[in-house]
Amino acid sequence: MNSNDFDIRLINEEKGKGIFATGPFKVGDVILKEKPIVSCQLSWNLDYGYLACDNCLKPLETAEENVHRLTGNKMIFLPHAECCETKTELITQCSECDTKYCSIECQNEAYLRYHKTLCLREKHESHPLVQLNETWKNMHYPPETGTIMLFARMVALVNQANNKDDILSIFSKFCHSNFCTDDNIHQVKCKLMEEKFIGQFNILRQMMQKALNTEFTSHWFTPHGFKNLIALVGTNAQGIGTSAFSRWVKNVSALDLPREERIDVDKLIDRIYDEMEEEVGSFLNNEGTGLYVLQSALNHSCVPNAVVEFPFSNNVLVVRAIRDIQPEEEICISYLDECDLERSRHSRQKTLSLLYMFTCRCDKCMSQVDDPDLTSEKYHY
């Protein structure tokens, strides 16, 4: 990867910025690698025992512990322990609030960047941050797409920054002109938070203000400013997923094993995934959300040429080419998952409009412009 192989350009006022290749990329090439300016584990995910580093979201369970919890079967034994990447001997925690980290380096980084402000020295249910988190959880049940605690971490990041204007300037780059009106921001708020959150807006704003308001971020706590904050996160945040077991699977799959042992290991992996599906469904990963400066400039396409991955099982994001990309070609990812991409044009357009407030004009959508305005479900009847 070379940062000279792509650049960010303003496309137009409606579409905003985009990332374009200035050099060629082959299938599988890493286009960019990026740490988030801020990230946070989802509130319910943490409460359900998905153990992750509070700073980088790296799993704190071993692969075998991960399997035991997600299957409910403590009799499963994973061979090749060397393929597990979790270093339990390095795990540390805050002496004040017991928040856990994968290493002393992560703990120190967290404390210097945001944890000094957010540390619950007395984790009492009456603490404003505890009340804020509980209120959020009661409004927004799983499956989660975000957490109010990311907002709290953003405020703390500004509060602890040596140069607060620099951090505020970075956050301002996530904002787009089409979210500046009250009507547009109201639509984003409703669709991001679902109907459970309509009417709860001022409760969250006032609780945030009580817990974290500072002179440097006071503009975020006005009614209009809080709407802008919600729009910023709702339209730019990237989901993050990590898993100790999936990393073990990848590593053990790369081993050069005798044929019979390979067959046995593959059967074990299949059986474990079946048991996990029966026990927890699709909730396999430590899940979080984060803001990435470069990734946020990538536009959507229903026929993307790149994909977002988390190959290090932490919050470091990689964008990888999934087909050859030529110089001057825009690099696009999909904001939709694979199932949604297979749905009708009308269904895709509806989802993108409600969640991201734009009308997709990619090659696939334009080729289907004359398709009937029916949801995918109606095609099945």
- Residue spans per domain, the chain: 38-238, 344-376
Contact of 373 with 350, CB cutoff 8 Å: no
Q: State what percent of residues in the chain have pLDDT above 90.
A: 66
Asked whether the bond before 143 is cis by omega within 30 degrees of 0, the reply is: yes
Nearest to 356 by CA among 192, 137, 241, 202: 192
**Token pair for residue 49?**
């025992």
pLDDT at 371 over 80: yes
More confident: 4 or 188? 4
Q: Mean of the pLDDT values across residues 49-54?
A: 97
Predicted local confidence at residue 197, as pLDDT: 57
Tell me the C-alpha distance between 17 and 177, whole Å.
11
Neighbours of 318 (CB within 10 A): 18
Biggest CA–CA distance in the chain, Å, is 65
pLDDT at 50 over 80: yes
Is the overall model pTM greater than 0.85, yes or no? yes
Reduced to 3 states, what is the DSSP secondary structure of residue 290?
strand
Q: Mean of the pLDDT values across residues 101-130?
A: 92
Mean pLDDT across the chain, nearest whole number? Answer: 88
Neighbours of 12 (CB within 10 A): 8
pLDDT digits (tens, 9 = 90+) for 66-97: 999 999 999 999 999 999 999 999 999 999 99
Q: Mean of the pLDDT values across residues 354-377?
A: 78
Least confident of 31-35, 325-329, 370-374: 370-374
pLDDT at 180 over 70: no
pLDDT digits (tens, 9 = 90+) for 301-324: 999 999 999 999 999 999 999 999
In degrees to the nearest 10, what's the CA dihedral of 8, 10, 16, 19? Answer: -20
Question: How wide is the angle at C-alpha 142 spanned by C-alphas 208 and 217, nearest 5°?
Answer: 20
Predicted local confidence at residue 178, as pLDDT: 44
Strand 92-93 with 299-300, pairing: unpaired
